[in-house]
Structure 1
Amino acid sequence: MLEYKVVEVSDVTEDNLERALNHWTREGWRFDGMHFVVRETARRPSMAFVLFVKSTENDDALGGSREGN
Structure 2
Amino acid sequence: MLRYKVVETSQVDDHRLEQILNDWTAQGWQLEGVHFAMREASRRPGMAFVTFTREESEPVTE
The TM-score normalised by the length of structure 2 is 0.89
How far off its partner does 1:40 sit? 1.7
Structure 1: which 5+ runs fail to align? 59-69
Q: What is the root-mean-square deviation in Å for CA atoms of aligned residues? A: 0.8
The residue that corresponds to 2:32 in the other structure is 32
Q: Is 2:53 the partner of 1:53?
A: yes
Instruction: Give 3-state SS (helix, strand or coil) of 1:11's partner.
Output: coil
Greater share of residues in strand? 2
Give, as a single letter, the amino acid of the residue that structure 2 aligns with 1:2. L
Give aligned pairs, total. Answer: 58
Structure 2: which 5+ runs fail to align? none
The TM-score normalised by the length of structure 1 is 0.80
Instruction: Name which one, 1 or 2, has greater alpha-carbon Rg.
Output: 1
